[in-house]
Structure 1
Amino acid sequence: MVSIATWNINSVRLRADQVARFLTQEEPDVLCLQEIKTEEKHFPHQVFEDLGYTHRAVHGQKGYHGVATVSRLPFRELDRHDWQANGEARHVGVELLGAAQGMVIENVYIPAGGDIPDREQNAKFGQKLDFLERMAFWADRLDRPTLITGDFNIAPLDCDVYDHKALIKVVSHTPIEIAALDRFRNAHGFEDLGRKHIPAPERNYSWWSYRTYWQDKDRGRRLDHMWASPDLAAQSRSHRFVEETRRWDQPSDHIPLVTEFDL
């Protein structure tokens, strides 16, 4: 069994203690982090080294964005795609070695897209859609067992948000974003593991705004995902979200997801 976790940590240096707590408690073999907000030279390598996560691929930048994959299993880094074509650090891909030989993990942080769901009025929204189109072009050529995971910044199903009617025109749940995400999924036939193991319409949120969190309201959205190519999806045995991290001191606005595979 191999367990893979993903978590938008919203600053790995600020929340290094929380990451260590999560790794000690859940013991995933691999953890994919998004929004690490630091360059590789300032990444808290020793925290992971001390916990046995001796294999790391860090694609960071100063103050914003950034992704990192840390692992107890050996891997080799494959690529760092710039699907936004602007130099931002939003992706790193690795291939597991050893007992999990051949499994590819693509760690991605899709842009949020700003506040206005119109590419003419909001350049960030257009960049998000273009990012997804480039991902779809890439996925069409995949020929290996692949897990793509991270913060997709899209809640695709009606039940993936606390109020579908209220959010249908809000960025992250608009029909144009969902259609773009569908094109990406269909390009490779990815299976949504979150809904394979927690079928719709069961509650399955992964993000809450800080404002509603402090109001103690369950106004969540499922923005974080783990999708697998068909052969790999068939080997997934469980999937869960670790919501208790919301109650930790100064939490991220996202929670971790964990999937186990019988390889």
Structure 2
Amino acid sequence: MPLSVATWNINSVRLRMPIVERFLVENAPDVLCLQETKCVDDQFPSAAFRKIGYRHLAISGQKGYHGVAIVARRPIEVVERRRFCDKDDCRHISVRVPVGDKSVLLHNFYVPAGGDEPDPEINWKFRHKLDFVAEMNAVRAEHDANSASILVGDLNIAPLEHDVWSHKQLLNVVSHTPVETESFEAMRKAGSWVDLMRHNVPYEQKLYTWWSYRARDWEASGRGRRLDHIWSSENLLPVFSGYDILRDARGWEKPSDHVPVIARFDIG
């Protein structure tokens, strides 16, 4: 039984609902995980999702900032909305998705961006980001014969040299500083997570999921970063059938600065 899971930082779900609908109609993932929904739960456009077949929803939102949500065409069961760094800022939600004879635990994360100054002593936002990633060490890729785990989201760190347009020029830019990338990879390994987007993809191949609004012509500049990620427990590797980065979505009308990523699994 196949399972497709998409992740997308939508940068305001109500503002960008037209392109969300386009994406779902054209690509029809089983599950879509959204970040930066930027609305409280009762203002989430649930009716619009249900109208196009996404009748199962798990939402954790707040007014104007942050927020995560999971919408699905198949039943899901909410597991938890975890607090990090003692803040109620709606950056995590997890659900269970039954797939064949397995139960998949799916985590959806929105990691803090960290501000502009990569110094935790003078920038509390950067300190918060580092602390948040440190707490994510406790999120493990739980699995056994009947279960598996997937972790997706805007993790706001481009960990590898070719996850950014210029490793050298971005070493002191938040999202690619050594203190971030080293703690990020240590956290991923501590949880026994597999980076599916880099599985069987050469490390020298450039991979981007985000292009800044600041570039007048994002496509011509090519200055992207891989900030959005899809990880899984090891037992899903044999059934992982690939993924797509929908780069064209960056050029849609009123786009997010992130694009959707879809992973596919042939779970039997």
What TM-score comes out, normalization by structure 2 length?
Answer: 0.94
Map of 1:1-263 to 2, 5 A cutoff? 1-97=2-98, 99=100, 101-139=102-140, 142-143=142-143, 145-214=148-217, 216-263=220-267
Which letter does structure 2 place at the counterpart of 1:243? R
Residues 98-154 of structure 1 deviation map (CA, whole Å, 9 limit, x = unaligned): 5374111100000001111111111111111111111102328x4451111000000
Q: CA deviation at 1:186?
A: 1.1
Higher helix proportion: 1
Q: Which sections of structure 1, spanning at least 5 residues, go unmatched? A: none
Moved more, 176-185 or 53-62: 176-185
- The structure-2 alpha-carbon separation of the partners of 1:167 and 1:100, relative to structure 1 and needing over 3 Å to count, comes to farther
SS at match of 1:14: coil
Cα distance in 1, alignment partners of residues 249 and 45 from structure 2:
20
Tell me, yes or no, if the aligned pair for 1:204 and 1:222 is still in contact at 8 Å: yes
- Distance, in Å, in 1 between the alignment partners of 2:93 and 2:198 is 24
- Secondary structure of the 2:254 match is coil
Q: CA deviation at 1:213?
A: 4.9
Identity of aligned residues (%): 44
User: Could you tell me whether the CA contact under 8 Å between 1:39 and 1:60 is conserved in 2?
Assistant: yes
Cα displacement (A) at 1:171: 0.5
Cα separation, partners in 2 of 1:236 and 1:114, compared to 1, 3 Å: same
Opposite residue 209 of structure 2, the aligned amino acid is S
How far is 1:261 from its partner?
Answer: 0.3
CA distance in 1, matches of 2:205, 2:178: 21
- Aligned CA distance change for structure 1 residues 110 and 246 (closer, same or farther; 3 Å): same
| Secondary structure in 2 matching 1:178 | helix
Structure 2: 5+ residue runs without aligned partners?
none
Q: 1:92 offset after TM fit, Å?
A: 0.3
Aligned CA-pair RMSD: 1.4
Q: TM-score, normalised by structure 1?
A: 0.96
- Find the residue that maps to 2:12 and give its secondary structure: coil
Rounded Cα–Cα distance in structure 1 between residues aligned with 2:208 and 2:101? 29
* 1:203 aligned counterpart, secondary structure: coil
8 Å CA contact 2:102–2:148 kept in 1: the answer is: no
| Alpha-carbon distance change, 55 to 217 in structure 1, aligned in 2, over 3 angstroms | same
- For 2:161 and 2:99, the matched residues in 1 are separated by 40
SS of 1:163's partner is coil
Quick one: which amino acid aligns to residue 209 of structure 1? S
Amino acid at match of 2:30: D
State which drifts further: 142-151 or 2-11: 142-151
CA gap 1:213/1:228 in 2 versus in 1, 3 angstroms: farther
